[in-house]
Chains A and B, each alone.
Chain A
Amino acid sequence: MSRCGIIPFIAICLFLSGCHKENGKRRYEIQLLFNNGDVLKDYGTVTEKEANVKKYHGKAVYTTVFNDYLFLKVNGKFICSGDLIADGKHGDLYLEGAYTQKGRAYTVEDGYFEVIWRDVYGEPLTNSVLTGKWTFKRN
């Protein structure tokens, strides 16, 4: 009798823990609206299910837009630095912006970013840092 009850229970436990479905990944759009009028847009995914990201990256959000970034969560803001390869150009990107979260979906309406485009030797291509506004939303 007892065996009849325990075996299905263990089987269900094993079945549940073996579910490695990649749920919680959603498509997002990021837009970099440069103050000089240029616009860069890209699509990628965000792993919205926090437990998965927390396990490997701590307090951050992992996204595959542009070059794959980790957005650190700092006082209601995303903060991120990284390489930017887009439109055949290479540069450095710095992002910060307040995010809102509805359910699991993140939205950044009015973020601030900086870009320095560089040549193959790493020298800056402009004599000032390019800045602008960025948006990030579930697509």
Chain B
Amino acid sequence: MKQNTLRSLSFSLILLFSFSCKKEKGALYDFPPGRFEFVYVLNTNTNQDTIIGELSGPYLYSSNYSFMVRQELLMDKSLKIFKVGTYKSINNGIFKAQVNTGATIDYEDHDSDHLMIHFASGDTLSGSLTLTRKE
């Protein structure tokens, strides 16, 4: 009797242990992958650049979220990828775009079809990236 209880107890313990291994949900778990229209605004000193185009994502590489720009002939040729935060958090994560554009994300909001982030680096660089789902 005692042996049986012991056996079933250890068996249920092993079961409980294996079921409790659940993976933490990513920051964009409720933002399914797709194609998006993007508006990228970059303020540097007194200049403001706005680039509009299409991208796909989010791609998850080594726990970092990224969006790949669908290339057009006339588009800025160095604008290929946006790196936006990490699996754990978008806010306070790193934003990277073209060469030499790196900043910290200070605002993020999304629903299943839209994503908006603001980023800044010191007083000289700031901007936003807004995505709207196409597919």
A residues neighboring B (CB under 8 Å): 1-2, 5-6, 9-10, 13, 55-60, 70, 72-75, 77, 79-82, 92, 94, 96, 114, 116, 118, 122-124, 127-129
For B34, list chain A residues within 8 Å (CB).
72, 74-75, 79
Number of A-B contacts (CB under 8 A): 79
For A116, list chain B residues within 8 Å (CB).
71, 73
Contact yes or no, A58 B11, CB < 8 A: no
Whether a CB of chain A sits under 8 angstroms from the CB of B23 is: yes
For A2, list chain B residues within 8 Å (CB).
3-4, 6-7
Point out the residue from A5, A13, A79 that lies within 8 Å of B56, measured CB to CB.
A79
Contacts A72-B33, A75-B135 given: A81-B73 contact, CB under 8 Å?
Answer: no
Of B41-49, B58-66, B112-120, the segment with at least 4 beta carbons within 8 Å of chain A is B58-66
Whether a CB of chain A sits under 8 angstroms from the CB of B14 is: yes
Distance, CA A129 to CA B70, complexed state (A): 11
Count of interface residues, chain B, beta-carbon cutoff 8 Å = 30
Contacts A1-B3, A74-B35 given: A56-B11 contact, CB under 8 Å?
Answer: no
Whether a CB of chain A sits under 8 angstroms from the CB of B12 is: no
Contact yes or no, B73 A72, CB < 8 A: no
Q: Which residue of B lies closest to A77 (CB)?
A: B135
Contact yes or no, B72 A13, CB < 8 A: no
Contact yes or no, A124 B60, CB < 8 A: no
For A118, list chain B residues within 8 Å (CB).
77
Distance, CA A75 to CA B6, complexed state (A): 50
Contact yes or no, B33 A123, CB < 8 A: no
Q: How far is the CB of A83 from chain B (nearest CB, A)?
A: 8
Contact yes or no, A128 B32, CB < 8 A: no
For A72, list chain B residues within 8 Å (CB).
33-34, 56-57, 59
Contact yes or no, B73 A127, CB < 8 A: yes
Contacts A55-B23, A72-B59, A118-B77 given: A6-B7 contact, CB under 8 Å?
Answer: yes
Contact yes or no, A92 B35, CB < 8 A: no
